[in-house]
């Protein structure tokens, strides 16, 4: 679930920008520079982040597209230290499960890069109670809505039972449709955080204890958390990201 400490490790990677590149922040920072220097930042200062700024991150999230422009998202921003202390227990447990499941036993796990990431994960879990803000990205489950029986009967009449069954399987509803509607918003939020000099990381290991997170954050029935994003002022530095070279992954016309 975390990083790329996986199979690609054996493959070539390259830096997005020159390591000496000056880091730019604020509304005028070029988008490509922000994208190329937006690292998963897990070491956070405990200093609070103003609610106005957190609101701006969520506003940027809403500028992302969603399937059918449904905009069925909701964002829970936790900034209450008492609640954060409670959530720290859940977070630690999810991290422990990740470790148990072999999160560290991956090709390249002994690389310096992986060791650094792992130390950051440990640090984050140890200091989670001091996380200034945690943003839960929530999306409405399409199953919560469903099609009306009348509309389904009408469609069945027009398409025939076989095509209707095929359509039901191919439907864009379901977790894939919901995920693809909420993750663009999460990416916008991460980019807005980076542009404002804030550190953030998209995480999904809450999935190991979904119902407990839903209960702790009061997520209503029919909604689901798709990501938990810890946010704060960085204790580390922004800089180039290391990724597979575009020539290795780009295919023109056919794979
Ligand atoms: C779908 C997805 C799930 C992720 N899940 C987790 C997670 O559960 N915990 C975590 O610490 N980081 C998680 N990450 C963050 C990745 O590990 C991180 O984006 C990746 O290692 C790249 O890091 P870098 O930008 O610093 O190079 C996730 C990222 C994505 C896109």
Q: 1-38, pLDDT tens digit by residue?
A: 444 444 444 568 899 999 999 999 998 999 999 999 99
Flag whether 57 is in a domain. Answer: yes
User: Does residue 119 register a pLDDT over 90?
Assistant: yes
pLDDT at 8: 43
- Does ligand 1 lie within 6 Å of residue 101's CB atom? no
> Which value, in Å, is the radius of gyration of the alpha carbons in the chain?
20
Mark 95-105 as b/e (b = at least 16 C-beta within 10 Å).
Answer: beebeeeebbe
Whole-prediction pTM: 0.89
Instruction: Give whole-number Cα distances, 43 to 65, 125, 230, 239, in Å.
Output: 30, 10, 10, 14
pLDDT digits (tens, 9 = 90+) for 186-198: 999 999 999 999 9
Establish if 63 belongs to a structural domain. Answer: yes
Does residue 154 belong to any structural domain of this protein?
no
Distance CA 118, CA 124 (A): 10
| pLDDT (mean) for 97-104 | 82
What pLDDT, on a 0 to 100 scale, did the predictor assign at position 142? 82
The encoded tokens of residue 195 equal 């542009």
Q: Is 204 in the pocket of ligand 1 (CB under 6 A)?
A: yes
Express as a percent the part of the chain with pLDDT over 70: 87
Residue 78 half-sphere exposure toward CB, CA atoms < 13 A:
24
Residue 149: inside a domain: no
Q: Is residue 165 part of a domain?
A: no
Given this model, what pLDDT does residue 10 score?
53
The answer to whether the Cα torsion of 121, 122, 123, 124 is positive or negative is positive
Q: Is residue 254 part of a domain?
A: no
Query: 178: domain range?
Result: 7-144+173-249
Where is average pLDDT lowest: 63-72, 111-120, 129-138, 210-219?
Answer: 111-120
In a domain, 234, yes or no: yes
* Nearest atom, ligand 1, residue 121 CA: 11
Q: Which of residues 151 and 239 earns the better pLDDT score?
A: 239
**Total domain count for the chain?**
1
Is the Cβ–Cβ distance between 170 and 105 less than 8 Å? no
Portion of the chain with pLDDT greater than 90, in percent = 72
Gap from CA of 205 to ligand 1 centroid (Å): 10
Atom of ligand 1 minimally distant from the CA of 5: 21
Strands 223-232 and 199-200: antiparallel
Q: How many angstroms does the Cα of residue 117 sit away from the middle of ligand 1?
A: 10
CATH of the domain at 53: 3.40.109.10
Residue 164 in domain = no
DSSP 71-120: --EEEEEE--HHHHHHHHHHHHHHHHHHHHTTTT-STTTTSHHHHHHHHH
What does the pLDDT look like over 43-70, one tens digit per residue? 999 999 999 999 999 999 999 999 999 9
CA dist 207 and 103 (Å) reads 14
């Amino acid at each position: 679930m975390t990083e790329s400490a996986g199979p690609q490790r054996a493959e070539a990677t390259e830096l997005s920008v020159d390591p000496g590149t000056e880091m730019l922040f604020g509304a005028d920072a070029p988008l490509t520079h922000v994208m190329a220097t937006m690292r998963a930042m897990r070491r956070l200062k405990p200093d609070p982040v103003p609610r106005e700024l957190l609101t701006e991150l969520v506003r940027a999230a809403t500028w992302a597209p969603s399937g059918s422009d449904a905009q069925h998202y909701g964002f829970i921003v936790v900034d209450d230290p008492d609640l954060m202390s409670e959530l720290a227990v859940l977070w630690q447990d999810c991290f422990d499960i990740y470790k148990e499941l072999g999160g560290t036993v991956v090709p390249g796990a002994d690389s310096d890069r992986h060791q650094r990431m792992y130390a950051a994960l440990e640090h984050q879990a140890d200091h989670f109670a001091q996380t200034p803000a945690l943003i839960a990205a929530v999306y409405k489950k399409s199953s919560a809505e469903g099609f009306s029986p009348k509309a389904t009967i009408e469609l069945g009449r027009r398409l025939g039972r076989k095509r209707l069954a095929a359509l039901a399987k191919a439907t864009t509803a379901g977790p894939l449709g919901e995920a693809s509607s909420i993750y663009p918003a999460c990416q916008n939020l991460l980019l807005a955080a980076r542009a404002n000099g804030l550190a953030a990381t998209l995480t999904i290991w809450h999935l190991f204890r979904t119902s407990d997170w839903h209960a702790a954050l009061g997520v209503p029935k029919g909604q689901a958390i798709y990501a938990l994003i810890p946010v704060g002022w960085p204790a580390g530095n922004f800089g180039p990201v290391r990724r597979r070279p575009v020539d290795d992954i780009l295919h023109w016309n056919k794979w």
